[in-house]
Structure 1
Amino acid sequence: MTWCRLPAASKGIGIVRRLASLLLPQLALLPLCGCLAWQEPDNPGDLQRAGYMAERRAVPDEPVETAHDATAWNLARCTEPRTRPSTVMLDAADPLVLSQGDLLRIVVTNDELPTGNYEVGNDGAIALPRMNPLRVVGMTPRQAEVAVEQRLVAAGWYRPGHGRVALSLLERGPVRVIVSGAVFQSGRVVINQRSPQETDTARQGAIGAHALTSTLSSAITFAGGVRPDADIAHVEVRRGGQVSVVDLSGIVSDEPVNDLMLMDGDRVVVPSRRCFQAELARPTPITPPGVRAYISNLSVPANNNAGAAIGRDSSNFPYGIRLLQALASMNCIGGAQMTNADRWAILISVNPLDGQTEVIQRRIEGLVRRRDRDAYNPVIMPNDAIACYDSAVTNGRELLRTLSDAVLSGSLSRAITR
């Protein structure tokens, strides 16, 4: 019986020896896994000198800066306002200038025919009965009232002094303007637009209706808000051949501002200072309240975003949040300190000044433990993308596991058949 088992035992020992000879060279690489390093992303521009914000620069080996130094770096790149065209205040004294879509109430003494509600048409005129359209766009309600009375007298409805016209603005109409420059979503926007369910009949009956959403700041908000490089002290409002330069900086410092009422067809231009201003990277009446980022966390032990407990709320952040807070939200910080905690992350963002995509790499655990972390902790911008990568130890372990599985499956089958 013992003699019969010797060949099997000898064969098993040979298999173990062969497998050991194959695996030992791989195991010798394990101490080197912790030394694996990433290469810096190759960006089209020099982030050290020409990036969008100082916090996106490469992290040096030793702490050398503070958050104050990063702020100074950002502000040092700001440009002075360029030469401006002649400034003309556009109806600043009387903001109730009539525009397309405004709803008017006209009452004529002792005459019910012309009495009624009128909407200013797309041609800027109102259609009085039995008369040619009367253009009222650009007039104040008082000016339009006089124009209506003069038209009725000219048409022979009554003699001068024998009738009286009362015109009131019931409700402001939608205002279509174009917003461009240093905003997140430039283009045509429609402000002061209400659905039928939102119509306030009680307010319509009040003389001197006022539309708060027809203001300059509302138009900027509808365009996604200003970017951190915006020059909010020199916002241009262009109306016909006139240009008014408005200082909106008081909005972010809680001071009074001249928030102009806009008219249909106005054009708003927000210049850029070509530098990142931290005071504009937070929620204000003219900046976004929050941002949405595209995130991916496929690090061990998760193999998909759901496994990393990443849901809808994990990708929506308050405006002004920084990279480390976003990484914590996507469960990319923490874990076993000696193995999987030392992860890497990349931030993918577009530089709005040149349209180039910037890829920023950070060693997460190293950034967490640096005293100058704020100088290299970028602010998350709308539509940024963030990805979390495994630590070098985890990468090495997974590499050895893959190689071992391949070697074992092939070698074991060959050894058994011999």
Structure 2
Amino acid sequence: MRSAMRNLSLVTALFAVSACASSFERPSNAVDMDTSGYQAQRQYLSGTTEMELGLDTRVRNGARCGDLDLAMVGQPLDAGLGAAFEEPQLLSPGDLIRIEMPHGEGFEGDYVVSPNGYVKVPHLGELPAAGSTLTHLENVIARLLVEGGYFKAGFAQADISVLQWAPIQVSVSGAVFQSGDVILNQRQADADPSERLAASGDIAIQRSLSSALYSAAGVRPDADVRNVVLVRAGKRRVFDMTGIFDGGPVDDPLLVAGDRVHVPSRGCFQLALARPSRITPPGIRVFMSNLTQPAASNAASAIGEDATRLPYGTRFLQGLVSANCVGGIQATNARRWGVLISRNPVTGESEVIARSIEDLVRRADRDHFNPVLLPNDAIACYDSHVTNVRDVIATVSEAASPVLNAMLIGGLAK
């Protein structure tokens, strides 16, 4: 009788531990994810069924939109800066130019704009070149040749061409994934064939505004691409770049060294911006963990470098598939959970949500709670209740086996 009571107590304790293992504790956040989360798709579900999520997530995301940086965007525009952008590309330090002139053998040659923005021409000295157009510099040289007595008025003529546009440094701030200084138009030493190097002329497309945004890891989904601010020499102008996403015309000026670019934030998630483009990332890196049974490590779950690099715009469910968290034996794997660890780029607050993988797969309204993944998000997979209970029973049984064996041997000895 006493032995039966001990066995009954052991079985009762086993089921009590198993019951604790079958519950999944959902993460909590410092903010209300229903009203303050970065994406409406990160809202709490709280056991809702289909058609109970309320407003469409597109409406809820749009309701949060505002013009947070209007204090900067709304400043008066500088007409002089606008006129400057209608001119040809301006020179920057490091640009390689060629000066040619009829009967000007002592002045012709190839020159590099110095770090302080000057070119040193024989007999004429150092001439300011950075921030100037080729036409302006040609006129300055012609005027100095006449003033110096080297040519008669009307006979001095300088022709300048750019052999190679140099890399330039500009700063990018605001609603981009990596704000700070960026280098544009970088080239490898052997990037250009000899025929190209020998030819006259070059193209500076990699020194454009869109290239600067792309080099800053792209604009975030909360960016106000209608009002991208460019500041040059204390003057400012606003550019509308929505045409990159809808196929319309695009204001994409060429930049010069020292330009500052600021992308305002609207404070809301805009799904239309969460896709590859000229000013958004082509792909993202996502951290994944699938330490589940029967997989004992990420390597066994086939989570390699390729699996963690996803196209920009990938949703949480697709990320879970890439982490091998979806599928398998339905009886043991159907009720698994996926956890998304992210950060609100507007507030800097971390946001952690949990989703039933089965709900993401089965429910027709999944798009309302299936968020878009962002760079450096993390995904973790948790076992189903059945797998948890099975493993707890196996663990308790393994721990209790020595005691049960001792009791059995003791009983036989008696």
TM-score past 0.5 threshold? yes
* Residue 10 (structure 1) aligns with: none
Superimposed CA distance per residue, residues 68-104 of structure 1 (whole angstroms, 9 cap, x where no aligned partner): 8011100110003615112231622123211111111
Within the candidate set 15, 20, 25, 1:39 is matched to 25
Within the candidate set 56, 60, 68, 1:73 is matched to 60
- Which structure 2 segments of 5+ residues have no match? none
- The 8 Å contact of residues 17 and 392 in structure 2, kept in 1 or not, is answered as no
* Residue 86 (structure 1) aligns with: 76
TM superposition shift of 1:250: 0.5
TM superposition shift of 1:411: 3.2
Within the candidate set 175, 179, 186, 1:186 is matched to 179
TM superposition shift of 1:33: 7.1
Within the candidate set 239, 260, 271, 2:264 is matched to 271
Whole-Å separation in 1 of the counterparts to 2:271 and 2:211:
22
TM superposition shift of 1:26: 4.6
TM superposition shift of 1:164: 2.5
Superimposed CA distance per residue, residues 114-167 of structure 1 (whole angstroms, 9 cap, x where no aligned partner): 211111111111011244210012221111011112223333333333443211
Whole-Å separation in 1 of the counterparts to 2:30 and 2:268:
18
Within the candidate set 225, 236, 249, 2:229 is matched to 236
* Residue 62 (structure 1) aligns with: 49
**What is the identity, as a one-letter code, of the residue corresponding to 2:76?**
S
* Residue 38 (structure 2) aligns with: 52
Over the matched positions of the two proteins, sequence identity in percent amounts to 43
Whole-Å separation in 2 of the counterparts to 1:96 and 1:203:
20
Whole-Å separation in 1 of the counterparts to 2:346 and 2:224:
13
TM superposition shift of 1:298: 0.8
**What is the identity, as a one-letter code, of the residue corresponding to 2:77?**
T
Within the candidate set 239, 254, 257, 1:261 is matched to 254
- The 8 Å contact of residues 95 and 260 in structure 1, kept in 2 or not, is answered as no
SS in 2 for 1:196: coil
Mapping of residues 9-408 of structure 1, within 5 Å: 20-21=7-8, 23-26=10-13, 28-29=15-16, 32=19, 36-59=22-45, 60-64=47-51, 69-80=56-67, 82-83=70-71, 84-88=74-78, 89=82, 91-199=84-192, 201-203=194-196, 209-408=202-401
Number of matched residues? 404
Q: 1:200 to 1:65 in 2, by over 3 A?
A: farther
TM superposition shift of 1:416: 2.5
Superimposed CA distance per residue, residues 328-380 of structure 1 (whole angstroms, 9 cap, x where no aligned partner): 11110112222222111100001001111101101111221111111000111
- Which structure 1 segments of 5+ residues have no match? 1-13
TM superposition shift of 1:287: 0.6
Whole-Å separation in 2 of the counterparts to 1:67 and 1:187:
40
Whole-Å separation in 2 of the counterparts to 1:382 and 1:260:
27
TM superposition shift of 1:405: 0.9
Q: 1:31 to 1:189 in 2, by over 3 A?
A: closer
Whole-Å separation in 2 of the counterparts to 1:65 and 1:411:
51
Bigger Rg over Cα: 1
